């Protein structure tokens, strides 16, 4: 018998903010990135928030901060970063949704363009069954600033969900998905029960046309 899954985006869906904000602040305070890099991201983010830069392009820009650094340095701080910076910003509304799906025996899947090392504490703490995300390329323990495969956004999310569904015998028509950004549309279109969470303007317009429920982060 096929199982039902619940797929959750992370930034501004399960989490009330973009994780890059507390992430940059945390890394700057640890001396891992320069003020110049932080300011450049703030400048670029101005255009991203106005949908003038795609999520894939923004992801590649953010990857620059990893180039030439040790992966172990980031892994060593991952649990502390989650406890101090991410866990307090999890959405109460979405945590209630997670628990509802868990109680109904659904397979819980986190689907995010963010990086594996700091999403592992999230899925471990919340008891998710699977993590689909972006993996960093490493050579001799040093990050190259590139990814293994594609950044997990847009159509890549859909592709990985389809692969997981095939592997785990999931019924996508009966499954659920939650996202906030227009780049989540391929993911939301794949399941029979799509929900948008404090959506961007383009996604909100589409959600109204499709009759997708609109949830508020709280």
| Domain assignment of residue 159, given as a range | 5-215
H-type helices in the chain, by residue range? 20-29, 35-48, 55-62, 71-81, 92-103, 116-126, 155-168, 185-190, 201-210
pLDDT digits (tens, 9 = 90+) for 127-186: 999 999 999 999 999 999 999 999 999 999 999 999 999 999 999 999 999 999 999 999
Contacts of 21 (CB under 8 A, 6+ apart): none
Report how many domains make up the chain. 1
pLDDT digits (tens, 9 = 90+) for 3-14: 999 999 999 999
**CATH number for the domain that contains residue 204:** 3.40.50.1000
pLDDT digits (tens, 9 = 90+) for 42-58: 777 777 777 777 777 77
């Amino acid at each position: 018998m096929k199982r039902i899954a619940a797929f959750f985006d992370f930034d501004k869906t399960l989490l009330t903010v973009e994780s890059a904000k507390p992430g940059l602040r945390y890394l700057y305070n640890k001396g891992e990135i320069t003020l110049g890099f932080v300011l450049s991201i703030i400048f670029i983010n101005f255009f991203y928030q106005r949908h003038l830069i795609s999520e894939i392009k923004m992801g590649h820009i953010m990857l620059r901060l990893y180039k030439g650094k040790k992966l172990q340095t980031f892994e060593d701080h991952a649990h502390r970063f989650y406890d101090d910076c991410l866990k307090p910003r999890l959405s109460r509304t979405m945590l209630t949704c997670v628990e509802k799906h868990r109680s109904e025996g659904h397979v819980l899947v986190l689907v995010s363009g963010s990086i594996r090392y700091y999403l592992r504490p999230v899925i471990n703490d919340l008891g998710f069954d699977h993590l689909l995300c972006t993996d960093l390329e490493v050579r001799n323990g040093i990050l190259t600033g590139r990814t293994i495969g594609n950044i997990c956004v847009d159509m890549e999310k859909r592709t990985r969900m389809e692969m997981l569904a095939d592997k785990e015998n999931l019924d996508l028509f009966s499954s659920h998905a939650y996202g906030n950004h227009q780049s989540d549309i391929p993911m939301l279109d794949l399941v029979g029960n799509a929900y948008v969470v404090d959506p961007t303007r383009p996604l909100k317009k589409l959600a109204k046309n499709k009759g997708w429920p609109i949830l508020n982060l709280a």
